[in-house]
Structure 1
Amino acid sequence: MLTVHHLGKSQSERIVWLCEELQIPYELKRYARDAKTMLAPPDYKALHRIGTAPIITDGDVVLAESGAVVEYIIAKYGNGRLTLRADDPDFAQFLYWFHFANGTLQATMGRLMILNRLKLADDNPILTAIRARLDLAFNLVDARTREAEYLAGNEFTSADIMIGFSLTTMRYFQPYDLVRCPNIIKYLARIAGRPAYRRAMEKGDPGMALLLT
């Protein structure tokens, strides 16, 4: 049985959402963050050497890393859904945005979050550079969501699942005002209208306000 080990307010929400979109059988085990440190509890960290979310188990398989987990589940259980074939005209866009989610957007938000905790001067050159890089990343997403309904084109794919956390729940950890990104707000309204997304968030983080604007 595929088991999704979900740490509250974490990137593992992607995996719950993926399973709901695919409508495959899975077991959901929820873990609460430590109230003081806001880190994963010991029983979650014991699941995998990296100790970070997401983590799945599937028989003897124990797998971490969002992108790897998403690709594993789609390859094993997806039957060709939520991905694009290499001969699809939008294949390159799909690949780019699938990897942009964690390779650029999430990574930049994480760096800025850490820098903000250091209480650096507002004009610190490193801080300024990271803020500019984050603005550029959001600008790219806003431009893409102006020209296409979903990241890979007109078809919803796992690239949208990958980026969803960074545009929403990650802003609990690193706030970002989406007022300057009207197309992202419209895109998130389309995401919010997906029944699988709503089911996933209710199951994984019941009661959590969704940062969709």
Structure 2
Amino acid sequence: MAMESKQGGIRGMFNPYSSADPSVNVPVASSPGLSQISPYLNFDPSYLGTTQPEFIFPEGAAKQRGRFEVAFSQIGGGCLGGGVYGGAIGLFNGLRDTQLAGHTGAVRRTQMINYVMKRGAASANTVGVMAVMYFSFGVLLGWARGTDDELNTLTAGTATGLLYKSSAGAKRCLMGGGVGLALAAAYCLATSRDRLQSLRTYS
């Protein structure tokens, strides 16, 4: 008995609550035959429907963001990606050219910073301009046609390539349109594979 009372006293030091305390006896079921009740919120989870959508959309609205909603974030992402790519190319060219020129110390660091900043800014500007063109064409086509599908993506990509290279002559203009069409087609294949397979099945 002395040993048991001693162990009980030790347990009581670390666990001040006992099973006899009514505050810890929270029922886990509302009544026999019903689902388990949350011991914290005290409601029956079966009352919560699991088949309803997780988000509320206005009636008649699409359940995904349109091209206009994602345009600003993707234009910014394109500028950032272009700047990183251009900065990496500038860093490589700066290391090579300053080594060939025999620059050392502060002179070499300054030249490398110039290489990185100039090439990064030029690449970011180029990608940003093309992104603005692409999303402008895409949004206008979506408003004109009343839908946003793969045809808009292909047309916007082709028109972007044509417009971007329009001042470089007819041959380069057509080449730019072809590159834009190829990139848009690759994007459609990567993002709309299930949709294209379903259309092929129905046809």
Instruction: Provide the TM-score with structure 2 as the length reference.
Output: 0.26
Give the structure with the larger helix fraction.
2
Larger radius of gyration: 2
Give the structure with the larger strand fraction.
1
Greater relative CO, 1 or 2 (CA 8 Å, sep 6+): 1
